[in-house]
Amino acid sequence: MSERAGETAIDRIREHVRAQVARTSLRKVAKRAGVKVGATKKFIDGSVPYERNLRLWKRYFARELREGMAGGPDDAVPVGDAAAVLDLLLWAFPEEERPDARREAVDLFRGLYVRRGRTPPAWIHDMPEYDDAASPRLGTDDEDDEDQDGDDD
């Protein structure tokens, strides 16, 4: 009985990891979880992780739940549209201050959702992935991590 419950929990974690990889990149999810890229790929492909990696995946999932990222964020507003709206709202700030102002605004929205026990929309999670609010290439660069081999150590 507990084995079946454990499998269900692992499957739920695996589905969350798959969704995060689909939304960002394999490398970014692996880095956030503290697991190597190859082990992440095997995990989302269905293999049973080693005990150490399973602990890391559980810790990652618990953190994602706590931060409101695990639970099916609403993706009705594309991140590019949300970025454009924030750019309009922050237009009065000097251009060099806008990226920091946008990060602060996104953090305020994230806090608003979390304090009310709601899962923040996908654009809130994806917005920090972009360098500049005015960048015309919003959301096109998933492989920009400095850590090319996936090792965090």
The one-character DSSP state at 50 is: P
Cα–Cα distance, 6 to 143 (Å, whole number):
33
Burial of 93 (0-12, 13-18, 19+ CB in 10 A): middle
Whole-structure pTM over 0.85, yes or no? Answer: no
The pLDDT tens digits along the chain (153 residues) read 334 444 567 888 898 899 889 888 999 999 999 999 999 999 999 999 999 999 999 899 888 877 766 665 566 678 888 888 888 899 999 999 999 999 999 999 989 988 877 778 888 888 765 544 444 333 334 444 444 444 444
pLDDT recorded at residue 82: 85
